[in-house]
């Protein structure tokens, strides 16, 4: 069965994927450590604590200390995963990440739940809409967000195996299970879901499911869509973006500020190539508010309907 034919009613949060995969990895490699900041239940590391207590450290509500501790552990050959919320892991810890992790290029992983608008009813202060953009601008940092449960597990596994700083972003809310368990993913290489000739859609994270639904509808209307899951924001798969320029018209979709995220990264490549047109769908450079997740997406135009509308406008342009 192709991905376009799959039933997308089965859902699971990608933070669950991290919780499950980190236990597996920790059992396989005793150098893997989890550093918590008193929110293990929310970040799904409770099972790791129960099963691998000797590889777990809770520093309390002290994210900056967690980053420093992770850096120290990395210098001894450990592979620490700092587990926290995206707003804390990208912003509160930023100076420590830059100076203590990325500057010396240490093998530290920042694994963050509650990415993008998925914290929803927690309000704008808990919605990390700029995190991937902030961290993609720091040298040596790899930035990743899986689209669903299985892709996230595979990407967490790869993050543990590659050397260097990695930022992993997970959803709080459930998202459809798009991929099968045996799908393979490579950090820095886009997942090519479908080829097409009229429009290219490049999506990331929890918006891949929206791009998939829009693709189905556009195909029904006779519009041929090239669809990519750009799970790695940095290093961006430049080759995949350049290949989309054969189509010529690109839509990016992300649960992130349209500034400095996926859309901006794609626009940088397109501008350097000197051809092609891009339309960015994402958070419209504004803070969120306390509201249901789907409502927040709607307020920012991150919807199936808007993807379809934008695609048709681009084709007619």
Contacts of 265 (CB under 8 A, 6+ apart): 136, 233, 234, 236
- Among 63, 100, 130, 213, the active-site one is 63
For the record, the structure tokens of 288 come out as 């969120």
CA distances from 239 to 72, 273, 283 (A): 36, 11, 26
Neighbours of 38 (CB within 10 A): 14
Residue 268 sits at the vertex; the CA angle it makes with 296 and 193, to the nearest 5 degrees, is 65
What DSSP designation does 89 have? I
Burial (CB count within 10 angstroms: exposed 0-12, middle 13-18, buried 19+), residue 216:
middle
For the record, the structure tokens of 93 come out as 């810890």
Neighbours of 94 (CB within 10 A): 17
63 flagged as catalytic: yes
Residue 255 sits at the vertex; the CA angle it makes with 252 and 261, to the nearest 5 degrees, is 60
For the record, the structure tokens of 203 come out as 């999506």
Three-state SS at 158: helix
Return the exposure string of 148-164: e unless at least 16 CB atoms fall within 10 Å of the residue's CB, then b: bbbbbbbbbebbbeeeb
What DSSP designation does 297 have? H
What DSSP designation does 53 have? G
Q: Please provide the size of the chain in residues.
A: 317
For tokens 């596994």, name the residue.
Answer: 157
Q: Do the beta carbons of residue 255 and residue 302 sit within 8 Å?
A: yes
How far apart CA 225 and CA 218 sit, in angstroms, is: 7
Residues with active-site annotation: 63
């Amino acid at each position: 069965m192709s991905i376009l034919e799959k039933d997308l009613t089965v859902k699971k949060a990608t933070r669950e994927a991290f919780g499950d995969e980190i236990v597996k990895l920790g059992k396989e490699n005793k150098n893997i450590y989890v550093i918590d900041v008193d929110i293990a239940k929310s970040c799904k590391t409770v099972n790791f604590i129960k099963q691998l207590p000797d590889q777990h450290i809770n520093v309390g509500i002290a994210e900056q200390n967690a980053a420093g501790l992770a850096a120290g552990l990395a210098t001894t050959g450990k592979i620490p995963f700092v587990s926290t919320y995206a707003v804390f892991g990208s912003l509160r810890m930023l100076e420590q990440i830059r100076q203590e992790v990325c500057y010396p290029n240490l093998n530290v992983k920042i694994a963050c739940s509650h990415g993008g608008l998925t914290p929803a009813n927690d309000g704008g202060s808990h919605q990390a809409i700029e995190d991937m953009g902030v961290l993609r601008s720091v040298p040596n940092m790899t930035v990743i967000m899986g689209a669903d449960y299985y892709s996230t597990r595979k990407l967490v596994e790869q993050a543990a195996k590659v050397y260097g700083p990695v930022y992993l972003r997970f959803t709080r809310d459930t998202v459809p299970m798009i991929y099968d368990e045996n799908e393979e993913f490579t950090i820095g290489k886009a997942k090519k879901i479908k080829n097409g000739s009229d429009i290219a859609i490049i999506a990331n994270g929890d918006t891949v499911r929206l791009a998939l639904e829009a693709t189905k509808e556009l195909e029904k209307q006779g519009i041929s869509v090239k669809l990519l899951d750009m799970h790695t924001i940095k290093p961006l798969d430049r080759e995949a973006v350049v290949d989309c320029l054969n189509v010529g018209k690109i839509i990016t979709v992300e649960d992130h500020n349209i500034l400095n995220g996926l859309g901006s990264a794609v626009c940088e490549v397109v501008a350097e190539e000197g051809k092609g047109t891009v339309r960015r769908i994402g958070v419209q450079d504004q803070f969120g508010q306390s509201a249901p997740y789907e409502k927040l997406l709607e307020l920012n135009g991150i919807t199936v309907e808007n993807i379809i509308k934008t695609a048709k406008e681009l084709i007619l342009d």
